[in-house]
A and B are shown apart, each in its own frame.
Chain A
Amino acid sequence: MTAPDAQLDVELRHRVVEAMTTVLKRLVGHEGPITEDLDMADGLGVSSSMGLELLLEVEEQVGIQIDVEKMRPDELRTVGELATFITGHSRPW
Chain B
Amino acid sequence: MTALDAVSVYTPAFRVPLEDLAEPLGLTDIQVRLFRRFHGLDRIRFDPDRSLGELLRAAVDGLTALRGREDRVRYVVHGRAMPVVAPYPHNPLHDLCRELGLGHALAFTVTQQSCASGLLAVELAGRLLAADPTEGALALVLTGEKAFTRDAQLLPGTSLFGEGSAACLVSADGPRDRLLSYACAQRGEFDAEFGEQSERFQREYRSSLAEVMRRAVAEAGLALDDIRLVLPHNVNVVTWQRLCLLMDFPVQRVLLSNVPDHGHLFCADAFANHRTATEGGLLREGDHYLVATVGAGAGATFSAMVFQH
Contact = CB atoms under 8 A, between A and B. Distances in A.
B241 A56 contact: no
A34 interface: no
A71 B157 contact: no
Given A47-B199, A47-B202, A69-B251, A52 B246 contact: no
Given A56-B33, A68-B241, A48 B203 contact: yes
Counting contact residues on chain B (CB < 8 A from A), the size range is 10 to 19
Given A56-B34, A56-B38, A68-B38, A49 B245 contact: no
A68 B158 CA distance: 16
Interface string A31-56: 00000000001000001110011011
Interface string A52-80: 11011101000000001111111000000
B242 A52 contact: no
B41 to A, nearest CB: 13
Contacts of A47: 199, 202
A71 B238 CA distance: 10
Interface SS of A by simple majority = helix
Contacts of B242: 71-73
A28 B169 CA distance: 50
Interface string B21-37: 00000000010011001
Contacts of A72: 242, 245-246
- Report, as a range, how many residues of chain A touch the other chain: 10 to 19
Contact of A56 (B30, B202, B245, B251): B30
B33 A69 contact: no
A54 to B, nearest CB: 11
Nearest to B33: A56
A70 B245 contact: yes
A47 B157 CA distance: 11
A68 B238 contact: yes
Contact of B238 (A52, A57, A74): A52
Nearest to B157: A49
Nearest to B35: A52
A47 B105 CA distance: 47
A59 B199 CA distance: 25
Contacts of A53: 30, 34
B202 A49 contact: yes
A45 B38 CA distance: 21
Nearest to A57: B30
A69 B203 CA distance: 18
B245 A52 contact: no
A41 B199 CA distance: 10
Contact of B38 (A52, A57, A70, A74): A52
16 contacts: A41-B203, A48-B203, A49-B34, A52-B38, A52-B157, A53-B34, A55-B38, A56-B30, A56-B33, A59-B37, A68-B238, A68-B241, A69-B251, A70-B245, A72-B242, A72-B245
Q: Which 9 A-B pairs have the closest CB atoms?
A: A49-B157, A48-B202, A69-B241, A52-B38, A72-B245, A52-B34, A56-B34, A56-B37, A47-B199
